């Protein structure tokens, strides 16, 4: 466990800085009702939540203790999006669990591309809090000699980091693609449109190869989702004000920093996910 404690030290430092920055960012909501949970409690959303839990239980059937960790990571992530919507002035944003993940919903379009980038980045950004808290808890448990609890808290660090690092990859319809698109829009709308198409085609090509290599036919669902995202993502771009260059640089730095924090925290699980995906594809191509 000494090695575990040492490995947590960078997360302590970076996590503390990121947590302080995130709390400073969301300080307007500290004394308001914007912190309410806002999970959508409709019959449809409850059904989707049950299906989501069932999907993860099936997916992790050989490691069921991961299910509550994954659900926790998703809820915190989606709550970050909801909080960002509220800070941007949206009236009634909500989130729900769905099979394969979660989704945050607002009936109001973004007022500008800076707001779009902020909302997209706040899911992974707010999740840095969970990484930091879990890292601190794991270290405290180590000091108290509670090795089992320390290992489970460290699992929260790894899973949260890996899921959010994956979510920040520039592939549609992940949050990373939305942030990259918002930044690209500040320089050239045609370039951003072409980049979005490229991110969508790249994601579909990787999924198609994975389906052929692994025979996991359920992955075809994601191709349909990507096609829908490519169709809908440009609806508001023509009239949405773009970011100024300074804002684009700030968004770029925030995106890179958030990605690196999560990548460091969840590297082992992130690498395992990527390898499990790429290995059959490379065998197929080889």
Q: Where are the domains of the chain?
A: 2-285
Tokens linked to 281: 């594809």
Is the CB of residue 103 less than 8 Å from the CB of residue 120? no
Is the CB of residue 270 less than 8 Å from the CB of residue 165? yes
C-alpha span between 286 and 284 (Å, rounded): 5
Q: pTM of the prediction?
A: 0.84
C-alpha span between 5 and 11 (Å, rounded): 10
Q: What three-state secondary structure class fits 98? A: strand
State the DSSP code for 35: G
Residue 1's pLDDT is: 47
Is the CB of residue 256 less than 8 Å from the CB of residue 186? no
Q: What are phi and psi of 149, to 5 degrees?
A: -65, -40
C-alpha span between 16 and 82 (Å, rounded): 23
In the block, which residue shows the tokens 């997916």? 59
Binned average pLDDT, 10 residues per bin, the chain of 286 residues: 54 58 56 60 77 83 87 93 87 84 86 88 90 87 87 92 93 90 86 84 80 71 78 62 83 88 87 72 62
C-alpha span between 49 and 62 (Å, rounded): 21
Residue 234's pLDDT is: 57
Residue 3's pLDDT is: 56
Diameter over CA atoms, the chain: 58
C-alpha span between 282 and 276 (Å, rounded): 11
Is the CB of residue 70 less than 8 Å from the CB of residue 159? yes
C-alpha span between 118 and 25 (Å, rounded): 11
Q: Which of 257, 262, 285, 284 is nearest to 273 (CA)?
A: 262
Q: What three-state secondary structure class fits 286? A: coil
Tokens linked to 180: 């990259």
Residue 283's pLDDT is: 66
């Amino acid at each position: 466990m000494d090695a575990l404690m040492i490995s947590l030290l960078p997360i302590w430092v970076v996590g503390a800085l990121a947590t302080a920055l995130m709390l400073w960012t969301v300080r307007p909501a500290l004394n308001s009702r914007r912190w309410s949970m806002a999970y959508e409690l409709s019959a449809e959303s409850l059904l989707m939540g049950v299906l989501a839990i069932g999907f993860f239980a099936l997916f992790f059937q050989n490691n069921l203790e991961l299910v509550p960790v994954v659900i926790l990571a998703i809820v915190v992530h989606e709550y970050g999006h909801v909080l960002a919507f509220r800070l941007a002035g949206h009236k009634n944003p909500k989130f729900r669990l769905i099979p394969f993940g979660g989704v945050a919903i607002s009936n109001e379009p973004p007022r500008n591309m800076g707001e779009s980038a902020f909302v997209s980045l706040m899911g992974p950004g707010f999740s840095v809090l969970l990484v930091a808290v879990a890292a601190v808890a794991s270290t405290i448990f180590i000091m108290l000699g509670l090795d089992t609890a320390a290992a489970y808290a460290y699992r929260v660090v790894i899973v949260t980091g890996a899921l959010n690092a994956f979510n920040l990859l520039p592939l549609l319809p992940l949050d990373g693609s939305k942030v990259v698109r918002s930044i690209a829009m500040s320089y050239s709308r045609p370039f951003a449109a072409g980049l979005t198409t490229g991110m969508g085609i790249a994601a579909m090509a990787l999924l198609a190869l994975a389906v052929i290599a692994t025979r996991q036919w359920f992955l075809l669902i994601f191709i349909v989702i990507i096609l829908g995202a490519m169709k809908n993502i440009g609806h508001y771009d023509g009239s949405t004000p773009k970011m100024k260059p300074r804002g684009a640089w700030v968004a770029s730095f925030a995106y890179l920093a958030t990605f690196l924090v999560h990548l460091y925290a969840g590297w082992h699980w992130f690498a395992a996910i990527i390898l499990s995906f790429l290995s059959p594809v490379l065998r197929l191509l080889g």
